[in-house]
Structure 1
Amino acid sequence: MNYLKLSLCVCLFITSFLSAQNKDITLEDIWKNGSFRTEYMDVLHSMSNGQQYSVLNFDRATRSTSVDIYDYKTLEKVKTLVSSSDLSALRYFSDYTFSSNEQKVLLATNETSIYRHSSLGNYYVYDVANGELNLITEDAIQEPTFSPDGTKVAFAKNNNLFVKDLQSNEIKQITFDGEKNKIINGITDWVYEEEFAFVRAFVWNTASTKIAFIKFDESEVPEFSMDVYGTALYPTQQVFKYPKAGEANSKVSLQLYDLVTGKLSGLPVSKNYEDFYIPRIKWTNNADILSAQFLNRHQNELDLWSIDTKNNSADLILEEKDKAYVDVTDNLTFLEDNSFIWTSEKDGFNHIYHYDRNGKLINQVTKGNWEVTDYYGYNEDKDIIYYQSVENGSVNRDVYAVKLNGRSKKRLSSKEGTNEAAFSADFSYFINTFSNASTPPEFTLNNSKSGAVIKNIKDNAAVSQNLTAYNLSEKEFSTLSVHGNDLNMWMIKPADFDKNKKYPLFMTQYSGPGSQQVANHWNSANDYWYQLLAQKGIVVVCIDARGTGFKGAEFKKVTQKELGKYEVEDQIQAAKTLGELSYIDDTRIGIWGWSYGGFMSSNCLFKGNDVFKMAIAVAPVTSWRFYDSIYTERYMTTPQENASGYDENSPINHVDKLKGDFLLIHGSADDNVHVQNTMRLAEALTQADKQFDMAIYPDKNHGIYGGNTRLHLFKKMTDFVIEKLID
């Protein structure tokens, strides 16, 4: 045997093995090759029998989609309910919705995005019993919704509402005054969709006999226009109504359509509101009683109304007030006796409350110096509420059960990190999604009484195995004392970290009111970018400053009327404190952020010009005068009332302080934070004779993605960080 040859082979094997364990992350891995893609359970729906669930599956071999039914106990597939491979009229579908009795399924296809939450599409109704497939209409429509009895579908088209009878196939138009940029029936306007996070503004009553909806009159709302460059010789324009801070909002009203009488009428409330929002409507268990939430323009007074649509009368059953603002949620739940469950921050932390049908408090269900972060539902048979909270530390999430009277609380999740639950219809099981900073998403079937794991469903072990080949660093969680507060922080150091060396520091943050970036969950795409920067020899840190969420109302609302003051002061001081560490080079500190985070990074570079060497701002707000009414006024009131709050903390007014290196990035078709923000900041910097770098991505929205865009964006940012902090 040739021992020299054997030794050489062994040496080559060991070398290749070691190099395989130390692969560096590339931008292509993150943004092009999908190297770190994790698996999820798409469009999970618990069947009404409580024993089965459905998911949307995609078959890569046949390029088809299907709705598949699984058994909770065995996790085995019971059957394929419907597959596009069996439907000649439908090549694929991208979403599905059941009727209440689960005998019909709405299948969505050809969906095209309008704004963040809204889309147009073609929709089919699939009959489970006979396998028939019927197109609702040839036209692209919005928000088709089954009536509770499953015999009709209501939908919106061209700002009007329609109802299709699935038995006769007759389509009836029920509003006629819808007009682009003027009147919208049953679909929210731009600012409601973005800031109240809903699109469908119409609801069926329980008897399938009435439809209540919100009508938007946006005639007086100022228009915003964006150039769309496209590929044609001449660009076009997108023109839409966008109320900026202090400008006119849509005038909203409650409307009712009675399918029995065919009558359309308004629904008044017995209080004169001058300028208000209707952020939520919901029918009670009584087919004649509608609930509606009215919110004043300052958003610090929310009224819950009970409206008798039969007698055309209304009772104010709950008033929620706050010195700053009241959060709007989807947690309102009516019980069988029409008492209701409500969440509120009125004791300083977000908790669950139980009120009788007239709005009298029965009891506060949860209490403590921690926050309820999600409400999962109420099991009337067991008299148990299920919820998620941060009782185990504000960076973690756990699933809990508690009696309606607040007793017998039980933690149902066991692993430390982020736990999210999807309960079966009868609350006998829940599918728990768990992850933490070192564990990719794991899906388990759990017993809802004990929380015990019954079976493992999916664990993303392939992702974990794949990552062993990469040169990754631990994400270290801690707190940093800044201005008398212990701020949550994570830090990523280079894998070959040497405490005797000096490293540049790169800070990432978002910092918006109620947000959270320091959370114990699995990686986002950006986390892999931070690992890449760590591989280049940079220490990366994220800090949640004052104004962020899940640490109580006082901590969150301290920034009221002063966005960009306290949270900027915290980030600057945090950078100074970290700069005092023996292994941080305080002459090479950078910061970046997107959207609100870009507003922050700009402010930090300008106001903290003796601390930060460089900053990147992507799609930043540069003056709150440019941003929408609902978001901005919630925290700042109007510019007419709070001019100093708007101007003293906006980057556009501090350009003269710039000393470091600044990269400014925006998408030209950003309907949310308009490119106007960047253009005005660029002009201010120019007139102040301040040099900066800038990139505009044509026809890209607030997310700046599509095709090669994200890869290009992150190459540009990576090069900038390395050039300014390392080279």
Structure 2
Amino acid sequence: MKGTKLFIGLFFWIALVATGQNKAFTLEEIWGGNFNTEGLQSLHSMNNGTEYSVLERNKEDGSTSIEVYDYASGEKVKTILNSQAISELSGFQEYTFSSNEDLILLLTDSEKIYRHSKRGVYYLYDVGTQKILKLSDEKIQEPTLSPDGKKVAYVLNNNIYVINFETGQEIQLTDDGKKNTIINGITDWVYEEEFAFVRAFDWNADSNKLAFIRFDETAVPEFSMDVYGSALYQKQDVFKYPKAGEKNSTVSLHLADLESMSVDKINLGDYKDYYIPRLSWTQKADILSVQVLNRHQNDLDLVFVDASTKKASVVLNEKDEAYVDITDNLTFLQDNSFIWTSEKDGFNHIYHYDATGKLINQITQGAWDVTSYYGYNAKTKKIYYQSVENGSINRDVYSIALTGKDKIRLSKKEGSNSADFSADYTYYINYFSNSTTPSVITLNKAKNGEIVREIKNNKAVLDKLAQYDVRPKEFSTIDINGEQLNAWIIKPKDFDPTKKYPLLMYQYSGPGSQSVKNSWYSANDYWYMMLAQQGYIVACVDGRGTGFKGAKFKKATQNDLGNLEVQDQIAAAKYFGGLDYVDAERIGIWGWSYGGFMSSNCLFKGADTFKMAIAVAPVTSWRFYDTIYTERYLTTPQENASGYDNNSPINYVDGLKGKYLLVHGSADDNVHVQNTMRLIEALVQANKQFDWAIYPDKNHGIYGGNTRLHLYTKMTNFIKTNL
């Protein structure tokens, strides 16, 4: 492969294989968690900047505790709370401190709703008095303490409530909340899934005002799923789901004044059919920031609302021929100037604007993307961020002055580095891994990246893997359709370049995604190694439309999803098939979700290239998927019918020649099983033979109990029989 780059750690693996027992991986071990790495759970940097807290669980009695450690020494300082000492608690799943750390919100009896949302029973613990207060006997959502710690707001049954701890008074701010009709302060399904946030309310700095978004779902079409359970009769889950081109929730912004006890609707301007993907108060207690996005998602306004006059004004506008990404990178400085990220120069970079929206300067620049914004140290006027400056498959942590000068690469090792900074930016915890090193967690100095101490190294995983025949990834770039595409390949045990091997390709390929990255293994990677031990080559290529190589590369697939991506996977398969050691007659491909959409298209459109494909939870027609995601990349089906239909697998079943396995969960609220059922009917009517499996009551992730083990056993058997 052109430009193959084997990492230094590969020689370590060779040594392991040479001295190890060459054990084979099994699905039972992989999905039993035998190779899981350890991390830090619910880490919180304490206000003093010298200590951090974590959630720890006692495996013997099931109790949980919040433990505080010293950053520099790693020594335990104290136990703030242990559930064993509180009669009301058997344990808790999450904790959240108040801004002054005198109070802690504790989540118990958590119940998952959708991908990000949950409800649960919450308690408030007073650190000083060690008293505990149950907020509600019912399960509530998103309780959030006010900055002064004297109030908490939460959502119950789609209405917003506030408890004043000083007066003991509970205030119901809204009363029109109703399932599948009106939601106050919590996002609807499509906002949660595609804009990735749940809490749609925010406290101002003075703790006397609460801004929230109201969702009117009345006109949104309903989707229903049967939930089979174990009772005599199944139940039906009915929820609002706007498919591409259909009605969205009507959203509106509201402002509650807790001193005057008034709730006002805010007129944001002359917007029609719009989204409010973010809201947050600025440093000034009377200035609220709101992001307003048009339905095509290519025109974004940052709006400031004056809470005293209720007037709204646009301070910043972002336009893009394709779409504008929504992020959480907006940060307000003390003078209400703000830090913002944008792709307007072709790559994602950090910008500084004054309080009126006038550009002060572009802080980062270059032909690379900023991938995470970590924060701003007001004392040193330093910004901390993560980027792909050191190659698009790597991640490094950097600091840079607000002026854009004095940039320092803080992380030193090549691979994937991410950071969690202390409250005062003295230290940061660095999470490092690469394709040969499981997660190593270290404490580093924010000033220069110097390692203070190692927190965790996961050496136990390496020791365990020393017994196995580990098949390392080899990274490279390959020339495909005029682009240098990132790729990795895993070769079989006792690889002989004079022999021919079957090839299984994996890809996801969705807009802005990345599957080729220099990081430690997931469960899928162990599965690939298991297949390699059994004589298969496994490879992955990130084609056009994937992320972290600039906006042009990422947005090349705009208005035509599944065209260039499929061309690239077919071309990559032909490239691999031209290698001396690949059997071009035995090439398969698989993927999940967008990857299932892709693998189906590749088999149907590339019948002479692929012998088999597996599609798990695939989109089979973009007309079945939601408004926000689909219209971001295709506009509406009314405007771009060909973009929807020309690349949807359901319209190309006549091209099926090879072996095909189709898998879905019946309770997939994201990519509905409707996609698979309609594709099945199209395949049946085209008299095409195929294999399929439906997992009852399983969502988009298809997991729980032995489900993953069963699924991967099925896929493994399918590959061994048909490739």
For this structure pair, what is the TM-score category when the shorter chain's length is used for normalisation?
over 0.9
Once the two structures are TM-superposed, the CA of residue 83 in structure 1 deviates from its matched residue by 0.9
Identify which of 576, 596, 599 aligns with 1:598: 596
Which secondary structure does the structure 2 equivalent of 1:499 belong to? coil
Match runs of 1:213-362 below 5 Å: 213-269=212-268, 271-362=269-360
Q: Distance in 2 between matches of 1:386 and 1:477?
A: 28
- Residues 368-412 of structure 1 show CA distances to partners (whole Å, capped at 9, x for unaligned) of 000000000000110100000000000000000000110000000
Return the alpha-carbon distance in structure 2 between the equivalents of residues 601 and 392 of structure 1: 31
**Equivalent position amino acid for 2:629 in 1:** Y
SS in 2 for 1:306: strand
Deviation at 1:22, TM superposition (A): 1.1
Which deviates the most, 362-371 or 170-179? 170-179
Provide the C-alpha distance between the structure 2 equivalents of 1:571 and 1:222, rounded to a whole number of angstroms. 36
CA drift at 1:62: 2.5
The equivalent of 2:53 in structure 1 is 54
Matched residue, 1:543: 541
Aligned to 1:438: 436
Cα distance, 1:221 vs structure 2: 0.1
Q: Is the contact between residue 245 and residue 633 of structure 1 (CA under 8 Å) also seen in structure 2?
A: yes
Of 491, 497, 500, the residue aligned with 2:498 is 500
Which residue is 2:211 aligned to?
212
Residue in structure 1 matching 2:372, options 361, 371, 374: 374
The answer for unaligned runs of 5 or more in structure 2 is 1-16
User: Counterpart of 1:604 in structure 2: which amino acid?
Assistant: C
Per-residue CA deviations over 1:247-277 (Å, capped at 9, x if unaligned) read 00000000011110110111112x3111100
Please tell me whether the aligned partners of residues 267 and 309 of structure 1 are also in contact (alpha carbons under 8 angstroms). Answer: no
What corresponds to 1:529 in structure 2?
527
Q: What does the per-residue CA deviation read over 1:198-221, in whole Å, with 9 as the maximum and x for residues that have no partner?
A: 000000000000000000001000
CA distance in 2, matches of 1:168, 1:60: 40
Aligned residue for 1:494, secondary structure, equals coil
- Aligned-residue offset at 1:166: 2.1
- 1:682 alignment partner in structure 2: 680
Secondary structure of 1:712's counterpart equals helix
**SS at 2:255 equivalent:** strand
Q: 2:498 & 2:18 partners in 1: Cα distance?
A: 26
| Residue of structure 1 equivalent to 2:29 | 29
Ranges in structure 1 where 5+ consecutive residues have no aligned partner: 1-16
Alignment partner, residue 135 of structure 2: 136
Given that residues 43 and 56 in structure 1 are in contact (C-alpha distance below 8 angstroms), is that contact kept between their aligned partners in structure 2?
Answer: yes
Shift of 1:19: 10
Write the distance in 1 (CA, Å) between the matches of 2:521 and 2:111.
28
Partners of 1:454 and 1:671 in 2: how far apart?
45
Measured on the aligned residues, the alpha-carbon RMSD in Å equals 0.9
Against the structure 1 CA distance between its residues 19 and 662, is the aligned structure 2 distance closer, same or farther, given a 3 Å change threshold?
farther
Counterpart-to-counterpart distance in 1, 2:615 and 2:83 = 44
Q: Normalising to structure 2: TM-score of the pair?
A: 0.97
The residue type equivalent to 2:23 in the other structure is: K
Aligned to 2:492, the other structure's residue is in SS state: coil
TM-fit CA distance, 1:18: 9.0
The percentage of aligned residue pairs carrying the same residue is 65
CA contact under 8 A between 1:31 and 1:710: conserved in structure 2?
Answer: yes
User: What secondary structure, in the 3-state scheme, does the structure 1 residue paired with 2:67 have?
Assistant: strand
- The Cα of 1:20 is off from its aligned counterpart by 6.2
2:107 touches 2:120 (CA, 8 Å); kept in 1?
yes
Whole-Å Cα distance in 2 between the matches of residues 532 and 166 of structure 1? 57
Superposition deviation, residue 481 in structure 1: 0.6
Mapped to 2, the partners of 1:407 and 1:486 lie a distance apart of 31
Equivalence for 2:585: 587
1:147 matched residue in structure 2: 146
CA distance in 1, matches of 2:283, 2:584: 62
Q: Distance in 2 between matches of 1:352 and 1:640?
A: 36
- How big is the shift at 1:61? 2.1
Q: Is the 8 A contact 1:224 1:239 kept in 2?
A: yes
SS, match of residue 229 in structure 2: coil
SS in 1 for 2:428: strand
Per-residue CA distance 1:485-520 (angstroms, 9 max, x = gap): 010001000131111111000000100000000000
The residue number in structure 2 matching 1:190 is 189
Q: Tell whether the 8 Å contact from 1:206 to 1:283 is kept in structure 2 after alignment.
A: yes
User: Contact 1:62–1:85 at 8 Å: present in 2 too?
Assistant: no
Shift of residue 164 of structure 1?
Answer: 1.1
Task: Tell me by how many angstroms 1:169 deviates.
Answer: 3.1
Structure-2 residue corresponding to 1:668: 666
1:250 aligned partner, one-letter code: S
In the alignment, the residues of structure 2 paired with residue 93 and residue 496 of structure 1 have an alpha-carbon distance, to the nearest angstrom, of 49
Kindly provide the CA deviation profile for residues 331-372 of structure 1, in whole angstroms up to 9, marking residues without a partner as x.
000000000000000000000000001110000000000000
> Which residue in the other structure is 2:12 paired with?
none
Q: Residue 232 of structure 1: CA displacement?
A: 1.0
Secondary structure at 1:656 match in 2: helix
**Superimposed CA distance per residue, residues 399-453 of structure 1 (whole angstroms, 9 cap, x where no aligned partner):** 0000011000000000000000000000010000000000000010001111010
Aligned length: 707
Q: Which runs of 4+ in 1 moved over 6 A?
A: 17-20
Give the partner amino acid of 1:653.
N
Structure 2 SS opposite 1:105: strand
Alignment of 1:615-634 (within 5 A): 615-634=613-632
Deviates more, 1:547-556 or 1:226-235: 226-235
